[in-house]
Structure 1
Amino acid sequence: MTGLSFAGLSGIIVLTAYAVIMLVIGFFAGKDAQAGKSVRGYYLGGGGLGFTALFFTLYATQYSGNSIVGYAPEAYRSGFLWWQSVPFMIAVIAGYLLFAPRLYVIAKREGFVTPTDWVRHRFGSTKLSVLVALLMLWGLANYLLEQLVAMGQGIAGLTGETVPYQIGVVVFVLVMLIYSWTGGMRAVAFTDVMQGIALLIGIAVLLGGALYLVDGDVAGVTRHLVETAPEKAGVPAREDSVNWLSMIVMIGLGAAVYPHAIQRIYAARSERTLKRSLAIMAWMPLVTTGVVFLVGIIGIQLFPGLSETGSEQLVGMIANEVAGINLFFYITMILLFGGVIAAIVSTADSALLSFSAVISRDVYGRYLNPRASEYKQVLVGKVAGIVAIALLLALAWNPPSTLYNIFVLKFELIVQLAPVFILGLYWRRMAAGPAFWGMLAGSAVAGLLTVLDLGPFYGVPGGLLGLGLNVAICAVGSLLRPAPVEDPVRHGLDLRPVSGGAAAQ
């Protein structure tokens, strides 16, 4: 070991370089004439994202601070039980494929900007649209809080505390606000390309370096785990197995209906581009989440006995050790170092953009000032995003829980949106009233069980119990109503290609 580390001036230089690159990309993206003047131009990049930009913006959004900074510590604490992180990331892609191509055709023809546009178009219900918007705002705010916490912990861990948690959060939040303000979705997508490439290379070399530190003896790592913490290597109990399956279902459906994920569906250049991007995304859990899982397991041998709080900085600790092997690993850890922080920022900016879109389009433009110009709607959305970030910074200053706990909390409620996007796309008989009461009841049950810490029940989390009630009320209530006239246009389910055949390419 040469004692090389990211701590000190070198860490600050790396962070500064990535920040400058993101600001430059935001500047050039903002030069597009419609980037900040129309809601579609600002929030969807004009609906013209090609394969490379769409793939990497999906990738950088899905593999965020939790996927890198938070998942390795969870593997460290849970052991092989945390292999569930790989199949539930695969389940997210399966969730997309249930509805994304079908929704794209309708969204392209109707000019949707926010996810709520689909709900309003399909069900024609104000109260259901408002409830959907509220749940989305809750999920996005929670998601933003998670990324702010991950941002601070990642910077502190990867610089050896040279850049303190609070300062790291503030500086990169300012960077994010500047390039998001100027370039909107185009800036977010183009920075995601840079961030995704750096992240893929960085985590691959991180695993290689971690294996080098244990002499490539994977079997030895497993033996060490069995000898020192056998409960982390044993067959899971029945309740843990049920929880594993439950989390796969809940996260697979919940992550697929994230507002910023749905907006990326809208932003695709064509249906073919969307399907190609999702096909490649199906392999990413193995080369991203799977790699991070192995790094966390190796960390048990490299840094035994870490507390829960201490383990939250595991990725930074391993990265610094790997950087000390030789110059090659030092340089490649720079890619990881910046890529991890940039990926966290990219996920935060995606959530912020969707948060602003819901406020701008669904709250301000729809109810508070319907006559407002698109430029003014975009401006209001930008300001609302800044206010939201300021409030969330106050919470992130002293984070309330571990990243994983924050991660689970938002899924309990956001998954209640799944029926209106998935079931609503295929079942013409689904009615607005039962959909509203099902979503409300499911959210109440999930929220109450989470707040009172009453779950999981035999391994089933409260969010999934709430979803079961949600679907039951929605299905039974819709069946009890008179069958609607079979008019696909009236029910928002007309799948004819948009003009020019863009959706059918």
Structure 2
Amino acid sequence: MKDIALLDTTGIVFMSAYLVSLLLIGIAGRLARKEDSLADFYLSGRGMGLFVLFLTLYATQYSGNTLIGMAGKSYRQGYTFLVSVTFMMSVIGAYLIYAPKLHRLSKKQKYITIGDYIEHRYGSPVLTTFITIVCIITVGSYILTNLKAIGYIVEATTGGRVTFVQGIITLSLIMVIYETLGGMRSVAWTDAIQGILLIAGCLFIFCGIEYQYGGISAVAEKLISSHSDMWHPPDFAQKRIWLSTIIIIFFGISIYPQAIQRIYAAKDAKTLKRSFQIMIFMPFVTTFFLVIAGMVGMNRFPGLDKRGSEEITMLLLNDMAMYIPGAKYFIILFLSAAVAAIMSTVDSALLAISSLFTQDIYRRIWPTASQSHLTGTGKIFSWSIMACMAYFATSLPQTIWRLTEMKLEVLCQVAPAIFLGLHFKSIRGITILGGLSIGISVTLFIMFSENMGVPIVPKPWGIHAGVWGLIANFLIVGYFSYFKRSPVVC
């Protein structure tokens, strides 16, 4: 595959022009700023409307993990991975539980980061700093997974003339420049374009599959004969893994710091709720289509290893280009959508990291620092984080899906602080800190037990380490909050 370029000269010129246009939008965002403050840079003045809010949520949630990781996972697992549509729908349910109330509080208390809420709700600097560090590490991992995805795409689109490593380094540089120029305002503007491109790209690959390979039913018939083992109904062990995955996605993705920033940035509660109502349908036109692509790839290109399976979307695009007239123009569209979605996601993650470090750590050390100084410090931190993540993306061997699981298993330990804290007055900061500490300790112990010589599998009884940690987390919080006869509901 590396010897065949998916994009010809026209496509590469178009892609280059698109990347330059994003930098120009970043400059426009900088020129449009109303004040040199953290709120303006990170939250776009807290006035984001329905159209932009929906598309920026969509472009942030569906990124390289969807376009590359999910198709690769579907290739390896088969039709049972259709359950991932349910995974992504569960995220919206989680948002609707806590986001409206958090939004109202953010308007009243002028929150900028998740740490602002934690500090206001629990009054514990130690808890705030702990959660901030956890979020920075997990969001950094989020950047890592998307940089790996963009490396695969660049290598495939250029036929290997731009290598995996070179693609990551080049686009990382473009992204960090763009992010530090425009902040949330320019990110939101580009997200509106990128979200549309992403939807169009997913529609194209689904329609191409219908046209080129005879549709879903024809593909299913071939897979039944060639991979009959992947068509057995899931057993109880598989169902446990599904339930475990839903739990870490429900509690993990929904509290991404970059998603919480968008909750803060919404113009009002009505706009926020309507955005989520539209988002509930997006797994059907995004996740579902990419899962189908992975299954088609299993039939068309059997025997790929893990690395090869995560290039399956690119392989299918190249295959369709050989048979469908004019397909190269749609391939340009899809690849532009893929790159745009990843860049949007990384932009958002960088903004989140920058705000977390600046607002919740640096500002505590230098409380007299001006708003412009704080914003500049956050930009410097973004550059440092991007350099580290680019290095790790070129070095770590794990698949994109496994990296996604690992970061969610740790991040979901923060969920009790938000979900319970918003609805129960009785819960104190020391209780949340105890649950969080135990939850992360259990998660990391199970996750790395084999490396320490302890005979524990990464998913005991088919359940993720993060779920076992979350169970311990909730039990600690529940015991000390309710069995001590505290007041219950606010």
| Interval containing the TM-score (normalised by the shorter chain) | over 0.9
Deviation at 1:484, TM superposition (A): 6.0
- Give me the whole-angstrom Cα distance separating, in 1, the residues matched to 2:434 and 2:146: 31
Output one character per residue of 1:16-44: Cα deviation in whole Å (capped at 9) or x when no partner.
02201211111111112336x20000111
- Give me the whole-angstrom Cα distance separating, in 2, the residues matched to 1:155 and 1:202: 16
1:207 paired residue number: 206
- Indicate whether 1:25 and 2:28 are aligned: no
Amino acid in the other structure paired with 2:29:
A
2:403 paired residue number: 406
SS at match of 1:30: helix
Output one character per residue of 1:61-100: Cα deviation in whole Å (capped at 9) or x when no partner.
1001011111111101100121121101000000100100
Amino acid in the other structure paired with 2:264:
Y
- Indicate whether 1:457 and 2:460 are aligned: yes
- Give me the whole-angstrom Cα distance separating, in 2, the residues matched to 1:344 and 1:449: 31
Deviation at 1:108, TM superposition (A): 0.7
1:124 paired residue number: 123
Distance 1:234 1:159, change over 3 A: farther
Distance 1:436 1:99, change over 3 A: same
Deviation at 1:346, TM superposition (A): 0.8
What are the within-5 Å matches in structure 2 for residues 355-370 of structure 1? Answer: 355-365=353-363, 367-370=364-367
Amino acid in the other structure paired with 1:226:
I
| Contact 1:201-1:332 at 8 Å conserved across structures | no
1:87 paired residue number: 86
SS at match of 1:265: helix
TM-score (norm 1): 0.92
Amino acid in the other structure paired with 2:56:
T
- Give me the whole-angstrom Cα distance separating, in 2, the residues matched to 1:158 and 1:279: 35
Deviation at 1:7, TM superposition (A): 4.0
| Contact 1:158-1:317 at 8 Å conserved across structures | no
- Give me the whole-angstrom Cα distance separating, in 1, the residues matched to 2:488 and 2:65: 46
2:453 paired residue number: none
- Indicate whether 1:377 and 2:380 are aligned: no
SS at match of 2:183: helix
User: Does 283-292 or 172-181 show the bigger shift?
Assistant: 172-181
Distance 1:143 1:485, change over 3 A: closer
Deviation at 1:414, TM superposition (A): 0.2
SS at match of 2:317: helix
SS at match of 2:462: coil
2:16 paired residue number: 16
Amino acid in the other structure paired with 2:301:
F
1:249 paired residue number: 247
2:276 paired residue number: 278
Deviation at 1:327, TM superposition (A): 4.5
- Give me the whole-angstrom Cα distance separating, in 1, the residues matched to 2:428 and 2:149: 40
What are the within-5 Å matches in structure 2 for residues 336-355 of structure 1? Answer: 336-355=334-353
2:76 paired residue number: 77
TM-score (norm 2): 0.95
Identity of aligned residues (%): 34
Residue 427 of structure 2 is aligned with which of 412, 426, 430?
430
- Give me the whole-angstrom Cα distance separating, in 1, the residues matched to 2:60 and 2:33: 25
User: Does 236-245 or 328-337 show the bigger shift?
Assistant: 328-337
1:235 paired residue number: 233
- Give me the whole-angstrom Cα distance separating, in 1, the residues matched to 2:231 and 2:157: 28
Amino acid in the other structure paired with 2:385:
A
Distance 1:214 1:235, change over 3 A: same
1:500 paired residue number: none
5+ residue gaps, structure 1, are: 489-505
- Give me the whole-angstrom Cα distance separating, in 2, the residues matched to 1:162 and 1:53: 36
Amino acid in the other structure paired with 2:245:
M
- Give me the whole-angstrom Cα distance separating, in 1, the residues matched to 2:321 and 2:267: 40
Amino acid in the other structure paired with 2:330:
T
Amino acid in the other structure paired with 1:34:
K
Deviation at 1:326, TM superposition (A): 4.0
| Contact 1:95-1:256 at 8 Å conserved across structures | yes
1:390 paired residue number: 387
| Contact 1:23-1:179 at 8 Å conserved across structures | yes
1:165 paired residue number: 164
5+ residue gaps, structure 2, are: 451-456
| Contact 1:201-1:336 at 8 Å conserved across structures | yes
Output one character per residue of 1:307-338: Cα deviation in whole Å (capped at 9) or x when no partner.
22111111111112223344543222211111
Output one character per residue of 1:40-60: Cα deviation in whole Å (capped at 9) or x when no partner.
001111111111111111001
Amino acid in the other structure paired with 2:468:
L
- Give me the whole-angstrom Cα distance separating, in 2, the residues matched to 1:196 and 1:39: 26
Deviation at 1:215, TM superposition (A): 2.6
Output one character per residue of 1:141-167: Cα deviation in whole Å (capped at 9) or x when no partner.
111111111110121123332321112
Output one character per residue of 1:240-259: Cα deviation in whole Å (capped at 9) or x when no partner.
11110111121011100111
